[in-house]
Amino acid sequence: MVALRKKPGQGFPQNHILAIDARTRIGRYEICSQLGAGGMGEVYLAHDTKLDRKVALKILPGNLGGHDRVRRFVQEARAVSALNHPNILTIYEIDEIDSAQFIATEFIEGETLRARMRIVPLRPPEAIDVGIQVASALCAAHGVGIVHRDIKPDNIMLRRDGIVKVLDFGIAKLAAPRPAALAAGEAPTLALVNTEAGMILGTAHYMSPEQARGLDVDERTDIWSLGCVLYEMVAGRQPFLGGTALDVLTAILNREPDSLVRLTPERPDELERIVYRALRKDREERYQTVKDLLVDLKDLKSELDLQTRRISSPKKSAESPQDVTDLASLSVPEKSIAVLYFENMNSGGDGDYFCAGITEDIITDLSKIKELK
C-alpha cells in the first residue's frame, strides 16, 4: 500500500488533521477535493484507482483514543457495513496509514438534510418520508445491537432520487468516552459536548436527556434524536433552543418544546402525537423500539396518501362502467408500474431488512427504463 504523501517537514499532528492536497495518494485512493471538515475529521472526494469508482474518504483525527477504542469502532463499523441496508451508508474499507485512521465509503451525490432545511422547512409528507427512511435504518442497526448516538440533520444525506442515507454509525461512540453519572457540577455533561468551534450547539440540540446527564444510553436515545429531527423538519427550528450549549442542555432536561400547532397549523395532528411521544424526557414513556415509531410513521403516510388521492380524484357520477374506466385511465400513465413493499410473513426480524432491500433494488432497476413510469 502506498504511503500518504506529505509536504516536506510535515507530519500528522495528534490533535488535528492537515488539509490534504488534490492528487495525494492514500493507499489506492487518490484525493480529488475536500468535501467537509469537523470535529470528527475531514472528508474528501477520492478516486479508487483499483476499482475505478468515486468514494468518500474520512480521515479521523489522531486524538480519538487508544487502541481498544479504535478496535471496538472497527468492529462496530464492520457490523453496520454487513447490514447492507439501502438507508445506511455503505462502508468499503477501514485502514490506517502513518498513524492516520481512515474510512472509505460510498460517495453520495446529494445534500445533507441540514442544507435542505436551510432553504425552507419540509412539508409534512416530505418530513414523514425522511423519518420513515431514517427509522428503517435505525431498525436495522438496533437489530444487531448498534446505537447511532448522533442522529442529526448533518448525518442524514438526501440523494437526488429521494433515497435517504444515514451516516457515521459508531463514530459518536468512538469520539466521546462515557463519563461517570452526573454527581455534582457540570463537567460530566460538558464532556459529551463537542467543543470544536461551531460544533457545540449542533451536537447539543439533539442529545437525549440521558446523554446530557452522562448516563448509559440505549436505542431509545436514537428515538429521541429522531424526534428532534422530525420536529425541526416541520417547524423549521429545533425543539430546544439556547444561547450556549449549557442553555440547550438545560432546556432538554427541564422544558417542553413549543407546540407544533402554533408553529405549523397545517401539520397532521397525528404527526404531533408521534413527535411528542418520541420526545418524552422519561425514556420509559418514549417509544420503546424504533420499529414502533416506524409503524406509526408508515400508518400516517398511508392515511395522508389516501386523503390526497380522494381530493385529487375526479368526482364519480352515474356514468356507465366504461366511462369510469376511461376516467381512471386518464390519471395513470400508459406504461406505469407500482412496486409495493414486500411483507415478511415469518417471525424473524432479519426478514424485514431483506424485504426493504429487495424492494429498493427492484425500484432502482425499473427506474432505468425510460419508457416506464
Active site residues: 150
- Cell (9 digits) for 329: 385511465
Nine-digit cell at 228? 428532534
Q: How far is CA 120 from the centre of its chain?
A: 19
**What is the Cα–Cα distance from 371 to 268, expressed in whole angstroms?**
36
CA dist., res. 136 & res. 164, Å (int):
10
Helices (H), 187-289: 187-191, 200-204, 209-212, 219-235, 245-254, 260-263, 269-278
How many other C-beta atoms are found inside a 10 Å radius of the C-beta of residue 324?
A: 13
Q: What is the DSSP letter of 198?
A: T
Q: Which of 207, 227, 223 is nearest to 215 (CA)?
A: 207
3-class DSSP state for residue 133?
A: helix
DSSP letters of 53-95?
EEEEEEEPPTTS--HHHHHHHHHHHHHHHHH--TTBPPEEEEE
Q: Is the dihedral of CA 321, 326, 332, 335 positive or negative?
A: positive
Burial of 79 (0-12, 13-18, 19+ CB in 10 A): middle
Q: In whole angstroms, what is the distance from residue 287 CA to residue 300 CA? A: 16
The identity of residue 210, as a single letter, is E
Beta carbons of 19 and 107 less than 8 angstroms apart: no
